[in-house]
A = this chain, B = another copy of it.
Amino acid sequence: MPLFNTLPAPLLLALAPLLLTAAMPSTAADTDALRSAVQSHISEHGGEILGDFRELLSMPNVSTVTEDMQKNAQWISQYIGERGFTSKIVSAGGAPYILAERKTPNAKKTVLIYAHYDGQPVEPANWDTPPFEPTLKNAAETLDWDEARKQAIDPEWRVYARSAGDDKAPVIALMHAIDAMDSAGLNASVNVKLILDGEEEFGSPTVEDILKEHADYLSADVLLFCDGPMHQSGLRQLVFGVRGDMGVNLTMYGPSRPLHSGHYGNWAPHPTDALMRLLATMKDMDGNIQVAGYLDEVTPISEAEQVAIAAIPSVDAQLQDELSLGRVEGGGKRIELTIMQPAINIVGFQAGGVDDQARNIIMSKARASLDLRLVPVQTIEHVRKTLEDHFTNQGFYVTHDEPTAEVLRAHPGVIKVDWTSGYPAYRSSLDGEAAQRLTRILTDYDGTAPLLTPTLGGSLPVHLFDQELDMPIVLLPIANHDNNQHGRNENMRLGNLLSAIGVYAAVLQNFGLD
């Protein structure tokens, strides 16, 4: 198979130094056998794959609802137990984590796989179909699950449900990868360990304690983070970093009771006006952060990272068209470069009702929630300080407590700042031994090299795994880029789910080979 001839020149160039030192591959015959085993399994057990995915997605999984999370954890333990995993459900005071292990006789290496089974909160009213009643659709219509299970799965079908794309699919794909190999009598070359996070969407507040307590149990040769979307080009990517993430809730104060906007409008200030004006000072129209000192800790993009990004096909024009965007931020920089900078996202602004819910009042409070994306080596402390200093410099009194009437009277503007949990970014170099090994395996299996992406724009608490576990970390996303992660109508393209079965199988088959 003339593999490398199918790659465009820039990619070949980028890969060249890596391939020179890569681990020995499995034979072409082994790869063919694996592909064939996976294809057979999908053909024969497509209905089962659909059914398993549907069942897992039908369980609500907002991290703070303990009973729901326990139900999910029990289901997953049972499900992986049927494939020979021993597991334990552990907690460090937060939502449960599932730790699991499946030993392979004589394996010399161990792969630890991370995924999370909790999902973002939902606003069901915004969804076309209920977020916890998984719905199967083709481009045109909703499909009947029972009918669909009798047919071959069309890769363009999608399943709509919370966590379909983020991040319940890896469990299903990995177990079917194992089933496919077992059925065909193909051996894994590695022990497999799992850490399945039940609180990722809330910032994994207790993961550090979990890792400290179970570090021995989790020891491995590589940590594969199975989360996030594939590149917008549809190409598979290995990813070497994530942005950090912090949250902050802001409350701006107006009159101590709601006032009639006719009787008091242009005498009593609206808290909405003040909050809008303040938030607008944080960035310019191009998204450039204007907060003094905020960028002091930002690490410049390395030359190797620039080269890797240059080798990635540009998707900006395609994305802008797909998303109906008349403009983008970043001053002409491609998306892979803009996400290597910090982002200040105003993800929520709530003050009074709109449309039919509008009431003619001057409110007592206006509220906003910010999502702050960090890059190396920004620290939580510096971000907090520079942002609060910015509010102060704009003339507002910053408090962390509900202000008293005396405080409100004494200052022309008062803002309450409530920081939620957060963590810094993580970025590693592109040419470690495990990275090269994975690059080789994916190139061999896919027939084309994966993209090497310095960072995801999204966040995972990777830095804690780096801090607590002694192993290289690489991200291997499987979801379609347009999975509506975190929003309404989240979905998984089934072609991505099926493709992941093969990729996981390739890793299991080959990562432990010398």
Residues of chain A touching chain B, judged by Cβ–Cβ distance below 8 Å, are 64, 120-121, 123, 228-229, 242-243, 245, 247, 249, 253-270, 272-273, 276-277, 279-280, 283, 285, 287, 320-330, 335, 338-339, 341-363, 366-369, 371, 373, 405, 408-414, 456-459, 481-482, 484-489
Q: Which of B265, B371, B409 contacts A325 (CB 8 A)?
A: B409
Q: Is the CB of B327 within 8 A of A354?
A: no
CB distance from A302 to the nearest CB of B (A): 20
User: What 19 new A-B contacts, CB under 8 Å, besides A269-B287, A345-B362, A348-B354?
Assistant: A121-B356, A123-B353, A243-B262, A249-B354, A256-B323, A257-B482, A257-B484, A260-B487, A262-B343, A262-B457, A267-B287, A267-B328, A273-B285, A276-B276, A326-B409, A348-B352, A349-B354, A350-B352, A352-B369
Cα A367 to Cα B356 in complex, Å, equals 12
Whether A260 contacts B121 in the complex (CB less than 8 A), given A352-B347, A369-B354, A369-B355, comes out as no
Cα A245 to Cα B265 in complex, Å, equals 12
CB distance from A345 to the nearest CB of B (A): 4
Q: Is the CB of B348 within 8 A of A408?
A: no
Cα A295 to Cα B362 in complex, Å, equals 22
Whether A353 contacts B338 in the complex (CB less than 8 A), given A359-B120, A408-B325, comes out as no
Q: Is the CB of A350 within 8 A of B347?
A: no
Q: Is the CB of B486 within 8 A of A345?
A: no
Please name 21 pairs of A and B residues whose Cβ atoms are closer than 8 Å in the assembled complex, sorted by A. A123-B357, A249-B355, A256-B323, A256-B324, A257-B323, A258-B484, A258-B487, A259-B487, A261-B343, A262-B343, A262-B458, A263-B457, A263-B485, A264-B339, A265-B457, A267-B329, A273-B283, A347-B362, A348-B353, A348-B355, A349-B366
Residues of B within 8 A of A255 (CB): 323-325
Residues of B within 8 A of A247 (CB): 358
Q: Is the CB of B343 within 8 A of A257?
A: no
Q: Which partner residue on chain B sits nearest A202 by CB separation?
A: B356
Q: Which partner residue on chain B sits nearest A120 by CB separation?
A: B359
Q: Is the CB of A273 within 8 A of B487?
A: no
Name which of A262, A347, A362, A413 has the most chain B CB atoms within 10 A of its CB: A262
Q: Is the CB of B358 within 8 A of A249?
A: yes
Cα A283 to Cα B272 in complex, Å, equals 13
Cα A405 to Cα B320 in complex, Å, equals 11
Q: Is the CB of A325 within 8 A of B486?
A: no
Q: Is the CB of A287 within 8 A of B258?
A: no
Whether A349 contacts B272 in the complex (CB less than 8 A), given A277-B280, A360-B486, A412-B327, comes out as yes
CB distance from A376 to the nearest CB of B (A): 15
Q: Which partner residue on chain B sits nearest A364 by CB separation?
A: B487
Q: Is the CB of A487 within 8 A of B405?
A: no
Whether A368 contacts B348 in the complex (CB less than 8 A), given A273-B280, A360-B120, A409-B324, comes out as no
CB distance from A93 to the nearest CB of B (A): 19
Whether A373 contacts B327 in the complex (CB less than 8 A), given A249-B354, A346-B272, comes out as no
Q: Is the CB of B323 within 8 A of A486?
A: no
Q: Is the CB of B263 within 8 A of A339?
A: yes
CB distance from A211 to the nearest CB of B (A): 22
Residues of B within 8 A of A321 (CB): 409
CB distance from A138 to the nearest CB of B (A): 18
Residues of B within 8 A of A348 (CB): 351-355, 357-359
Q: Is the CB of B367 within 8 A of A371?
A: no
Residues of B within 8 A of A330 (CB): 266-267
